[in-house]
């Protein structure tokens, strides 16, 4: 069964895409939850026209996302945390801390879009994180964990 996605669905597709799924998944979950509509011929024609009109807007969004990725790669963020006398952190550095540090620098990044590449950060040092910016465009930045 073909459906038109209204919202991004993890492991399925992005909003505005037409994808094939099993009928039960579409009719019992995606359509009732408002994630998709059934892709009839009229919906497909409307979607094709919308895609033509949206093509130049998409190019601008991709260019802006690539510029943000370049800006992020040039950034080194400093995260100040409390540490014990032996140098261990009280707790760990999370994506919330990184999002706050990036927002302080004027980059509006959501915590859900940040992934710390080293896993858990529980010691002082330099680490790297990845940010999902737009669809397949990702950026990385380095961050230093320093004592407060």
User: CATH 3.10.430.100 occupies which residues in the chain?
Assistant: 69-147
CA angle 5–54–68, rounded 5-degree value: 90
Any idea which fold 69-147 has? Answer: Ribosomal Protein L9; domain 2 (3.10.430)
Transcribe 61-115 into DSSP letters. Answer: HHHHHHHHHHHHHT-EEEEEE-B-TTSEEEEEE-HHHHHHHHHHTT----GGGEE
User: CATH 3.40.5.10 occupies which residues in the chain?
Assistant: 2-62
- pLDDT in the model for residue 128: 96
* CATH, range 2-62: 3.40.5.10
- Band (pLDDT 50/70/90 cuts) for residue 36 is very high
Q: Would the pTM count as exceeding 0.85?
A: no
Residue 45 in this model has a pLDDT that exceeds 90 = yes
């Amino acid at each position: 069964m073909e459906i038109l996605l209204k919202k991004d669905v993890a492991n399925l597709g992005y909003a505005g895409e037409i994808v094939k799924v099993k009928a039960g998944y579409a009719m019992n979950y995606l359509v009732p939850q408002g994630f998709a509509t059934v892709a009839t011929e009229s919906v497909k024609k409307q979607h094709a026209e919308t895609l033509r009109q949206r093509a130049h807007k998409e190019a601008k969004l991709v260019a802006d996302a690539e510029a943000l990725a370049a800006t992020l790669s040039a950034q080194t963020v400093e995260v100040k945390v409390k540490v014990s006398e032996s140098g261990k952190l009280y707790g760990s550095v999370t994506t919330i801390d990184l999002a706050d540090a990036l927002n302080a620098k004027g980059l509006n990044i959501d915590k859900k879009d940040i992934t710390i590449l080293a896993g858990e950060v529980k010691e002082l040092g330099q680490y790297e994180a990845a940010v999902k910016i737009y669809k397949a465009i990702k950026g990385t930045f380095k961050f230093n964990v320093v004592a407060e």
